[in-house]
Structure 1
């Protein structure tokens, strides 16, 4: 699919905070629902948030946490990833939806990058997935006008699903509201649906402090919740799928 026009988020709307609800509905082999409240950042990686010194431990965006982890900036890592796949942004703007490091810890199950050309048109979306084993994988997506894209699953995420099936995603650029969905389809039908919904808030120091107090150490809580629910599923008899050897360390392939 070719790049499609997309309404640009106004420059004064970034950085932004999205208090949100993340929902996972597992439909096979057994129905199970997980809901988690947290908050996400929408940032321009070329212009990360400038916070007062006392609040900086609550939001740090470190290039070591993304892609190969060895580039001087997140934008440089993204540009290198795209260049290897024949995509150039020619200096266009990027919007990144992610968790920041909180008190030195971060866990990002999914980081999204909406990548624009210099004319403001959306050229692609990159979906960077992290698992709880320290691995990472990035998918290059070409959404249609409704923000829909699909791709084969190529990365081990849940211990209860093998590396097969196909993702169908709805990833419209964030506006006042955040409304994202990821479906995993396997041979027997839809196996999993994950949604993210929230409403934008200005990224003021007061707003960040309120969210940090409401959701203390948010990335750590998210990682703990995933492990807790994984244990519950295991105790309910779901079989664990072996993890491929090449999915045991950080990766950056499509």
Structure 2
């Protein structure tokens, strides 16, 4: 695809419908990059966008690409150098929190092969879902990772993850017996990567990923004070978890 790297000024919305309706909205920005050609900003702006291997997968890979290839190889998939496009938050001023990072993976001839959805929770854990979307970009996967303290680890996700072009339009639905209690959407518009655009977005959304993490925790406290029951974690979170 053309237009990579790119910036997306976007709105993230979480809608909870059970046992009552509750909505969280947050504006931020995300990067769409080729994992083999990560952007490098002018030196004064580099603290505003770093892409570190420690922030993805097991955290100890020599590069994001190497860590992704190792994850896929463990599931019998080889891309043989095919292109991988990643949507993510960059590390800003030393901090990053990525609720969802997506990797669109292609064979050497450019044929779409799979999508990897890497989920981070606020406890410090990570988990990757290997997905095979249909032509509309929709995929389904059983839930296998503790994210919200207000939902147990059951049900499944239905995700619509088309590769972003001019517009970013993603959705993730949690479906459980009896309904769809949670939906997250990410929508935004593409902007070219320029020093001015990066600086403008960083000033408009200072400490952007820290703000996302803080907002999630704040809304969690509000839900808890309203009496929403908490489901204890059953999985460790000190070490990244990458089982499919």
TM-score (norm 1): 0.95
Matches within 5 A, 1:176-195: 176-195=166-185
Please say if 1:56 is aligned against 2:46.
yes
Aligned length: 244
Could you say which residue in structure 2 is the equivalent of 1:33?
A: 23
Q: Which of these residues, 164, 167, 172, is aligned with residue 174 of structure 1?
A: 164
Could you say which residue in structure 2 is the equivalent of 1:44?
A: 34
User: For the Cα contact (< 8 Å) 2:146–2:235, is it kept in 1?
Assistant: no
Please say if 1:146 is aligned against 2:175.
no
Please say if 1:69 is aligned against 2:69.
no
Could you say which residue in structure 2 is the equivalent of 1:3?
A: none
TM-score (norm 2): 0.98
DSSP 3-state at the match of 2:236: helix
Deviation of the 1:251 alpha carbon? 1.1
User: For the Cα contact (< 8 Å) 2:124–2:237, is it kept in 1?
Assistant: no
Deviation of the 1:45 alpha carbon? 1.2
Q: Which of these residues, 91, 101, 106, is aligned with residue 96 of structure 2?
A: 106
Could you say which residue in structure 1 is the equivalent of 2:120?
A: 130
Could you say which residue in structure 1 is the equivalent of 2:12?
A: 22
Deviation of the 1:118 alpha carbon? 1.2
**Unaligned stretches of 5+ residues in structure 1:** 1-8
**Unaligned stretches of 5+ residues in structure 2:** none
Deviation of the 1:250 alpha carbon? 1.9
Distance, in Å, in 2 between the alignment partners of 1:84 and 1:91 is: 16
Deviations 1:133-162 (A, max 9, x none): 000000000000000000000000000000
Distance, in Å, in 2 between the alignment partners of 1:248 and 1:63 is: 17
The worse-fitting range, judged by mean Cα deviation, of 169-178 and 24-33 is 24-33
DSSP 3-state at the match of 1:19: strand
Distance, in Å, in 2 between the alignment partners of 1:246 and 1:213 is: 36
DSSP 3-state at the match of 1:79: helix
Distance, in Å, in 2 between the alignment partners of 1:93 and 1:245 is: 33
Could you say which residue in structure 2 is the equivalent of 1:5?
A: none
DSSP 3-state at the match of 1:224: helix
DSSP 3-state at the match of 1:71: coil
User: For the Cα contact (< 8 Å) 2:202–2:208, is it kept in 1?
Assistant: yes
